[in-house]
Amino acid sequence: MMASAFLEREADGSQPIRNGAFVAIVGPSGAGKDTLIAHARSALADEPQVEFVRRVITRPCDGQTEVHDTLADDAFVAAQAKGAFALAWEAHGLRYGLPASVDRAIDNGQVAVANVSRGALPALRRRYANVAVVEVTADPEILAARLAGRGRESHGEILSRLARTATCDTTGPAVALDNSGAKEIAGDRLVAIIRKAMAFADMSGAV
């Protein structure tokens, strides 16, 4: 697959930020998004062109999944009003933000990689000219087992979450990435996708 086959160029007259590219990782809780991102971060540690974005969330960091920055709800709203975030959204009763530095990184030709909620994709596509959406999936039984292992939700809440997942879509083209097996398999595929985005960003910046 050529890079241009999964990277979308947005041209709606709003002058989105270009030169670099944004790789958005989406998928249901329990699919292993953070695990795959950690795998890619390790594999691409020596690639200065790639920025793995540290999100800001109104939830304490539990040390079990992604490492993120935490803000109280009021502090998040105040930071957003001051332009601290390139993109912010709400999901599952929490607020999420990507720091404003992402705009500069993409404008400078870098590739930004982040875990993003599906509901934020339309705004993301409006903001950046070159976007690749990677939808991480896993078998329902595996999702349920992983969610139960976290101990955050009751059995009923887990079933409701899985039901909501089944009705969601990515509002546009996406690369499907099945993470039902060994994390290295899907992790290496994600690394390959990011490398294609790097090549695409190089070509985009040269135009």
109 annotated ligand-binding residue: no
DSSP state of 84: -
Strands (E), 126-187: 130-137, 175-178
101 annotated ligand-binding residue: no
- Cα gap 179→157, rounded to integer Å: 22
29 annotated ligand-binding residue: yes
173 annotated ligand-binding residue: no
- Cα gap 82→140, rounded to integer Å: 41
45 annotated ligand-binding residue: no
186 annotated ligand-binding residue: no
Per DSSP bridges, beta strands 21-26 and 111-115 are parallel
Q: Which residues is 26 bridged to in the sheet?
A: 135
Check if the beta carbon of residue 6 is closer than 8 Å to that of residue 195: no
What residue numbers does the annotated binding site cover? 27-34
What residue numbers does the annotated binding site for ATP cover? 27-34
